[in-house]
Chain A
């Protein structure tokens, strides 16, 4: 079985400050990890993914995430937050062994204040 934990329901940060949205995962086998963002009444938009290779992954809109195998984490980061980054963020995991769907975390609301 695979699972994802996003321990924070909400993250508040001031514009211009760095932001981190946390994600930890559990899978059997090698993890494939994803971050998605959702704006109100819209579908989820892909931000970035880790499949293999460099542990630091860069994605859309200046976001990046670091794969940490020993801590089973894949935290989303951005050096300088924008008000327009305010949205709901989902972490997801799957594995390369056998047929699999993505398992999503419950989501973290990011609020960036001006």
Chain B
């Protein structure tokens, strides 16, 4: 275990469903991230939270909605997804100190399939 836990590990959902992905870290980190990894594509940074504030949103469709209720938890709420949203969704956390980033710790990911 890396210290970053993602649930569920696998999720199959219909295009009209609503579901949420959960990420939890107990490393004392103060920044959390959502990445999307699709086959044969580079890692896509979706959202960044630093000190529980969203600081980056990389033109992600509104059918993805992040939530960071505290520094240890991060959610990704999903609704009315499309088949092309099927991917591995990775959560990561890091320590940011005066702007310096000392590297990420990743969770194992949630494999999402939209049918």
Binding site for B on A (CB under 8 A): 32, 34, 36, 41-46, 49, 51, 90, 92, 94, 96-102, 104-107
Chain B residues contacting A49 (CB-CB under 8 Å) are 102-103
A32-B48 contact given A43-B108, A90-B43, CB 8 Å threshold = no
Among B92, B99, B109, contact of A41 (Cβ-Cβ < 8 Å) = B109
Q: A30 → chain B, closest Cβ, in Å?
A: 9
One of A32, A42, A99, A107 near B103 (C-beta < 8 A): A32
B107 contacts A43, CB within 8 Å? yes
Pair A96/B99 contact, Cβ less than 8 Å: yes
Q: DSSP majority for the A interface?
A: loop
Interface residues of B (CB under 8 A from A): 2, 4, 6, 33, 42-43, 45, 48, 50, 55-56, 88, 90, 92, 94, 96, 99-109, 111
Q: How far is the CB of B93 from chain A (nearest CB, A)?
A: 11
Q: Once bound together, how far apart are the Cα atoms of A16 and B91, in whole Å? A: 34
List the B side residues contacting A94 at CB < 8 Å: 100-101
Q: Are B45 and A101 in contact (CB under 8 A)?
A: yes
